[in-house]
Amino acid sequence: MELAAVLIDMDGTLVDTEPYWMAAEWALVDAHGGAWSDQHQENLVGNALIASAEYIREHGGVDLPPEQIVEVLLDHVVRQATEKMPWRPGARELLAELNAANVPTALVTMSYTRLAQTMVELLPGGTFTAVVTGDQVADGKPHPEAYLTAAARLGVDPSACVAIEDSPTGLASAEAAGCVVVAVPHHVPVDPAPRRRFVDSLNDLNVEVLRTMVRGAG
């Protein structure tokens, strides 16, 4: 089986925006007189935003509708990302190599369109053949819908795609969709699993490595 496409997560994988999300959570909970913790933060990494908002409402004492919590968090993160986009090592180089090799590439993120767009606009036009965001799917990660949607938009079989993720939630989503998965752990630990390949950095990946992974899985 040959590599059909590469599907890549955003927060924590391409850009180190997780600290922005964490700061937004602390600020929101503090503003409402609630209690928060590092463990609560870890529990939210990679989740659908609406699920995270419901969690914050329940565990952080924030008495706002989940939809409003999402918008408050997004406002904070978009503002910080606009000021400084914190690229992960090797991210732009890998995207440029995929583009040069004409490998279809999709961004698959639980962030909403307005945040994803702040990153996409900093890259050369056409870097992503498709973009799937959290506000475009009914069921967020760990449900496979986002990855299945990306593969469908590219017109490829998910089993011929490599999905690159940093969180257990995102990896579970890609695995459920049938993708070949690569874990690049960052802020939260990722347990080993039979179908998971691990790398320390996106610098460890290139087109030939990704092709070899798909051939080995087929």
Q: Identify the domain containing residue 109 by its residue range.
A: 5-16+86-217
Q: Are residues 184 and 117 in the same domain?
A: yes
Q: Are residues 67 and 173 in the same domain?
A: no
- Span 68-121, pLDDT tens digits: 999 999 999 999 999 999 999 999 999 999 999 999 999 999 999 999 999 999
Q: How confident is the model at residue 209 (pLDDT cuts 50, 70, 90)?
A: very high
Q: Are residues 70 and 166 in the same domain?
A: no
Q: Are residues 12 and 41 in the same domain?
A: no
Q: What is the pTM of this model?
A: 0.91
Q: Are residues 148 and 58 in the same domain?
A: no
Q: Are residues 10 and 35 in the same domain?
A: no
Q: Are residues 69 and 91 in the same domain?
A: no
- Span 158-187, pLDDT tens digits: 999 999 999 999 999 999 999 999 999 998
| 3-state helix/strand/coil string of the chain | CCCCEEEECCECCCECCHHHHHHHHHHHHHHCCCCCCHHHHHHHCCCCHHHHHHHHHHHHCCCCCHHHHHHHHHHHHHHHHHHCCCECCCHHHHHHHHHHCCCCEEEECCCCHHHHHHHHCCCCCCCCCEEECHHHCCCCCCCCHHHHHHHHHHCCCHHHEEEEECCHHHHHHHHHHCCEEEECCCCCCCCCCCCEEECCCHHHCCHHHHHHHHHHHC
Q: Are residues 125 and 154 in the same domain?
A: yes
Instruction: Give the residue from 37, 59, 83 where a domain finishes.
Output: 83
Q: Are residues 205 and 177 in the same domain?
A: yes
